[in-house]
Amino acid sequence: MIEPTDAAPVSQTAQLYDNLRAAILTLEIAPGERISERGLEARFHASRTPVRAALSRLEREGLILHEGRSWTVTPIDLDEIASLAELRGVLEPAAVRFAVERADAAALAEVRSHLDALRPTPDQQAGIRMGSTFHLDLAALGGNRFVTDAIGDALTRLERTRWIEVRTPEARDAAWDEHSAVLDAVQAGDADRAAELLAAHVAGTNDRLIAWIAQERRRLRGAGMAIIGATDRTSTTH
């Protein structure tokens, strides 16, 4: 039977996508865990069409894999994390140079307002929003949507592991301070300084994340989380 195509299934798909994505990103559904369409239908009280639409969207984001008739949450891949850090290390300093060249005072003030509004709190989710909002705001200042989209895609693929990055109040404080220093340099018109600080921030967060996962790998696997890859690449700032 063909499912209806009115607004109700569309709304259900969006809600299901949001709920399922949040469960994956917060590690409530663990990396490597198998999920079934019927299980999701029962868990989220949804019909088949919205479930399949949400799964397809999450597959495009790289958060789940389709294997025959089953779906699996993508494992945490250390090599992919390192590759994305390399990508960001190239794109984001270039984007911040565009921002220095092209952004006006009003746009910079708006980014500063967004950053100040997301000062570190006890809420870990706020730490994720702070990072995503700041990096995308900064990229958008450069006015090149292809660069912004590429950075956004990298951040989406890293969002699950970025829960680990901001797991402590100290980590959230440090991230906010580094973001603020980059923005200070942009507002001062110092492209070299802004690019240098941003490259160091991207490399530093990646190095700390990889080191923590390597240290905790056995415990994480014991908790049922699939972790693959064994990168030996080092930061480009070293």
Please spell the DSSP secondary structure of 159-198, one letter per residue. Answer: HHHHHHHT-SHHHHHHHHHHHHHHHHHHHTT-HHHHHHHH
Q: Residue 236 pLDDT > 50, yes or no?
A: no
CB distance 159 to 25 below 8 Å: yes
Interval 42-92: pLDDT, tens: 888 888 888 999 999 999 888 899 887 789 998 888 888 889 999 999 999
Average pLDDT, the chain: 83
For residues 100 and 104, give the distance between their C-alpha atoms in angstroms, rounded to a whole number: 9
CB distance 129 to 117 below 8 Å: no
Q: Residue 237 pLDDT > 70, yes or no?
A: no
Q: How many residues does the chain have?
A: 238
For residues 22 and 26, give the distance between their C-alpha atoms in angstroms, rounded to a whole number: 6
Band the pLDDT of 13: cuts 50, 70, 90. confident
pLDDT of 126? 55
pLDDT of 96? 97
For residues 43 and 123, the model is more confident at 43
235: its two tokens: 């930061």
Task: Say which amino acid occupies 16.
Answer: L
For residues 109 and 98, give the distance between their C-alpha atoms in angstroms, rounded to a whole number: 16
Q: Which residues lie closer than 8 Å to 8 by C-beta, 6 or more apart? A: none
Q: Which residues lie closer than 8 Å to 196 by C-beta, 6 or more apart? A: 93
Angle in degrees, 0-180, between the axes of helices 78-102 and 124-141, rounded to the nearest 10: 50
Band the pLDDT of 231: cuts 50, 70, 90. low
**Could you give the angle at the alpha carbon of 129 between the alpha carbons of 153 and 233, nearest 5°?**
50
For residues 196 and 132, give the distance between their C-alpha atoms in angstroms, rounded to a whole number: 19
